[in-house]
Amino acid sequence: MFVVELQFECFDNTTLSQVDSAINGLMDALRYNGQVLGREFPIVIDDGVFRVRVVCPEKESLHSRYNSPQVRACYEQLTLSCLLTPKIKVLGVDLNSDSVAENFSPSWQVLYTTYVHSCSPLRSGDTLLPIPLYQTGATIDGDYKAVVKWQTEWQAFDEIQMAIRSQTAVSMALAEIGDIDSELFVRGRELCRHIEVTTEIPTYYYQYRVGGKDKVTELARRCPSCDGEWRQSEALHGLFHFKCDRCRIVSNMSWNFQ
């Protein structure tokens, strides 16, 4: 991942509210297209220049060839707000982020995230490294907002079950990320199907697993969708102990027994 600075200059009189709305609108559109990562984008005024620092998957993530219709519309709004097209400066590699996958057409891929990750939730099944969403072509209504929204919700439930003491809240959160009939799970699998059809790459959904009776029983667990055998001889990437090629689901052995 790379830290990039966008520099916005005014070409005519405008207002701070217009500038704020135009820049933040662009940042949201870029985020929902997978071109910038994270959710907070502070704007700094420096000698009449507005600066925003973001994290991008690649050096050229902000190139116009990746822009969605929504991003292009936001660039037009900049002009209406008396702002020039931003100058883009790559500051360097973000040492706290993963690198993106080298191959955007892996043998398989998986929709996987956690509350500590801000990178693309689409991971290469060969390396588990993130694949930039804008590199997939699997848009819905022009961008990847549906995938980013799914990721935001999944991470919120994950953080609840990791940080909240209320058993009611934890149970609710675990049901959403672990129950195949939950609204979030169903929506995530639909996204996987759409991505697979578009990319022609087998796309799996990650089922979070915690609890269980004991390790022996856990290892004998069968696919929650088709009841088929899905245990792997060795955990894929040290994480996925189970993988069902029929249902396109992967899962971990319960964290209680690891």
- Predicted local confidence at residue 35, as pLDDT: 98
Q: Where are the beta strands (DSSP E) in 76-230?
A: 87-93, 109-111, 122-124, 203-207
- Residue 213 above 90 pLDDT? no
Q: Which residue's entry shows tokens 């009189």?
A: 13
- Residue 256 above 90 pLDDT? no
pLDDT digits (tens, 9 = 90+) for 30-44: 999 999 999 889 999
Among 192, 183, 176, CA closest to 112:
192
* Per-position DSSP letters for 222-235, written without gaps between them: --TTT----EEEEE
For 215, phi then psi, to 5°, come to -65, -40
Element (H, E) at 251: strand 249-251
- Answer yes or no: are the C-beta atoms of 44 and 6 closer than 8 Å: no
pLDDT digits (tens, 9 = 90+) for 109-166: 999 999 999 899 999 999 999 999 999 999 999 999 999 999 999 999 999 999 888 9
Which whole number is the average pLDDT over 209-221? Answer: 91
State the Cα–Cα distance between residues 141 and 126, nearest whole angstrom: 29
- Residue 48 above 90 pLDDT? no
Q: Indicate if the alpha-carbon torsion angle 242, 149, 8, 75 is positive or negative.
A: positive
- Predicted local confidence at residue 157, as pLDDT: 96
Specify which of 16-25, 60-69, 157-166 reaches the highest per-range mean pLDDT. 60-69
Average confidence score pLDDT of the chain = 95
- Residue 98 above 90 pLDDT? no
Position 83 confidence tier, pLDDT thresholds 50, 70, 90: very high
Helices and strands counted in the chain (H then E): 6, 10
- Answer yes or no: are the C-beta atoms of 77 and 20 closer than 8 Å: no
